[in-house]
Amino acid sequence: MRRLAFIMMLLGATAARAEDKVEVKAEYFTEPANKQALHVFHPAVGLNVDAHRDFSLNFAYDADVVSGATPRTYGAAMDAISSATHFSDTRHAFHGGAELRLGPAAVDAGYTYSFENDYRSHAIDVGAKVDLWGKNTTFRLGYSHNFDSVCDVDNKGAAPTERRSLGSSEGCFKNTVGLVEEPVAIDSYALSWTQVLTPIIVTDLSTTFQVIQGFQSNPYRRVLLFGTVEAQESEPLLRQRIAVQARLRFAVVRARGALGVLARFYYDTWGIKAGTAEITWDEWVHPQFLMRVRGRFYQQGRAVFYRDAGETLSYESVGPVGQYFTGDRELSPFRDYLVGLKLAWVRNADEHGKVLRWFEQMDLNLKADLIDYQPMTPLPPNQARDVGLVNALIAELGLALRW
């Protein structure tokens, strides 16, 4: 479901500031579990150009180079180590967009195409914002629609417990006999309100609503049912999700820093309720060096049809919940903690001239986040990745040049 995250990101990100900028980032994410490690390398590049005083163009490219191992079948009777299957894939995403500024208002639109071996996505996004009352208040609306398709085995007419899983992505999107392309339509709506409260406090309140219709299971994943039957994961074809987030930033002038707090509440029609709390501290430790420390807490409940393999009423014991069964860790109840540090070296043009002869500003930054997952059931999917104190690492190196 990373395409969903990507398009939701676009709802917020396409309203680029009116400035010429090129930015490059290289991110590495890993869950270094023994025998079930996951590695994701995520390079990204973005370019924003003011084509006219009131008109900007933006382009972006990013990729996910994913490799790792995961058990194909979820169930307590499965040997998670020996059944782990190695996989690798690369996703490419290209984005182009434009923003038109009309006095205190601005409108933007964009298109994104992404593809990988087993997934294709076309997405359009539009947005509008307006600054009011001396730019103390900003409202923004966003909408996007995805026309996606996912490769799957042709299981037409088969009962959920008889559905076969996809063995590999070979032959996908090539009209191969025995394979089909399942459609997924995603509508995302976003509304945001930013408010300056005092000369040192700014807040924002945002909400997003999303409707996903279509095949949302992992086509490769199987679930052990009744102790003997292995069937392709079966999840509902419709999911509606809503999230509300509030943020506040408070300038601590004496410390040349800013305190940020965030609270987010989430609910969806699969029954998942989640909450997020985050606190950040940004400080200019030197006129050219910026430091940020960050702490984040997240907790979610289970989807109504999730049954843990370590519990009495597991799929292995009593079968599907209605017609649904899943081995998706994202649908299990868990909490996670994140702590992170970011350092940035920011060099501005001054009386001695521009930075590197051309630029108004250069921003070189490095960050590292550590994550600890804490499952709230005995035997969730990919449990091997939850062992130990640090279960995941995010490292990122970035360079931004403005002119």
Partner 1 sequence: MTKLAFLLLMVTGAGCGRYAVRADEKEYLADRIMQADYDEMETANDQHVLTNREGAQGGYGAAGGGCGCN
- Is position 290 an interface residue for partner 1 (rule: CB under 8 A)? yes
Q: How many CB atoms lie within 10 A of CB 368?
A: 14
CB 75 within 8 A of CB 83: no
- The SS3 of residue 299 is strand
Q: In terms of CB distance, is 27 or 230 closer to partner 1?
A: 27
Comparison of 64 and 155: residue with beta carbon closer to partner 1 = 64
Near partner 1 by CB under 8 A, which window of 70-78, 160-168, 176-184, 258-266?
258-266
- Strand pairing report for 73-74 and 222-225: parallel
- Judged by CB under 8 A, the stretch of 151-159, 214-222, 229-237, 254-262 that binds partner 1 is 254-262
User: How many chain residues interact with partner 1 (CB under 8 A)?
Assistant: 96
Alpha carbon separation from 295 to 78, 247, 248, 259, 369 (Å, rounded):
36, 14, 15, 12, 9
Give the footprint of partner 1 on residues 214-253 (CB under 8 A). 241-247, 249, 251, 253
Q: What CA–CA distance (Å, rounded) separates 267 from 252?
A: 34
Write down the least CB distance from residue 154 to partner 1, Å: 27
- Is 145 a binding residue for partner 1 by CB under 8 A? The answer is no
Binding pattern to partner 1, positions 81-110, x when CB under 8 A?
-------------------------x----
Question: Among residue numbers 157 through 176, which ones bind partner 1 (CB under 8 A)?
Answer: none
Cα–Cα distance measured from residue 65 to residue 170, given in angstroms and rounded to the nearest whole number: 17
Q: Which stretch binds partner 1 (CB under 8 A): 2-10, 68-76, 159-167, 351-359?
A: 2-10
Distant-in-sequence, close-in-space partners of 178: CB < 8 Å, separation ≥ 6: 153, 154, 171
Pairing of strands 392-402, 21-31: antiparallel
CA quadruple 211, 215, 219, 222: dihedral sign: positive
Looking at 67-75, 126-134, 230-238, 308-316, which segment touches partner 1 (CB under 8 A)? 126-134
Using the contact rule CB under 8 A, the part of the chain among 158-166, 222-230, 257-265, 308-316 near partner 1 is 257-265
Choose among 8, 175, 77, 151: nearest CA to 379. 77
Closest separation between CB of residue 351 and partner 1, Å? 21
Residues 6+ apart with CB under 8 A from 48: 16, 17, 19, 20, 21, 22, 56, 57, 58
Choices 76-84, 131-139, 171-179, 352-360 (CB under 8 A): range interacting with partner 1: 131-139
Q: Does 402 bind partner 1 (CB under 8 A)?
A: no
Q: Determine the distance from the C-alpha atom of residue 107 to the mean position of all C-alpha atoms in its chain, rounded to a whole number.
A: 24
User: What span, in angstroms and rounded, lies between the C-alpha atoms of 136 and 127?
Assistant: 20
Interacting residues of 152 by C-beta distance below 8 A, sequence separation 6+: 166, 179, 180, 181, 182, 215, 219
Q: 198, 228, 351, 357: which one contacts partner 1 (CB under 8 A)? A: 198
Of 143, 266, 345, 403, which one interacts with partner 1 (CB under 8 A)?
266
Closer to partner 1 at the Cβ: 128 or 180? 128
- By CB under 8 A, the residues from 14 to 73 that bind partner 1 are 15-17, 23, 25, 27, 29, 40, 42, 44, 46
Asked whether 368 and 398 are in contact (CB, 8 A), the reply is no
- Among residues 225, 303, 309, 355, the one that binds partner 1 under rule CB under 8 A: 303
Of residues 338 through 367, those in contact with partner 1 by CB under 8 A are 342, 365, 367
- Nearby residues of 52 by Cβ (< 8 Å), 6 or more positions away: none
Contact flag: residue 375 with partner 1 (CB under 8 A)? no
Of 180 and 345, the one with the shorter C-beta distance to partner 1 is: 345
Q: How far is the CB of 77 from partner 1 (least distance, A)?
A: 25
Contact by Cβ (8 Å): 272, 302: yes
Q: Name the residue nearer to partner 1 (CB basis): 113 or 226.
A: 113
138 binds partner 1 (CB under 8 A): yes
- Quick one: CA torsion of 130, 131, 137, 139, rounded to 10 degrees? 10
Is the CB of 169 or the CB of 240 nearer to partner 1? Answer: 240
Q: 107 vs 180, which CB is nearer to partner 1?
A: 107
Greatest alpha-carbon pair distance for the chain in Å reads: 75
Which range binds partner 1 by CB under 8 A, 110-118, 176-184, 267-275, 315-323?
Answer: 267-275
Q: Least distance from C-beta 214 to partner 1, angstroms? A: 17
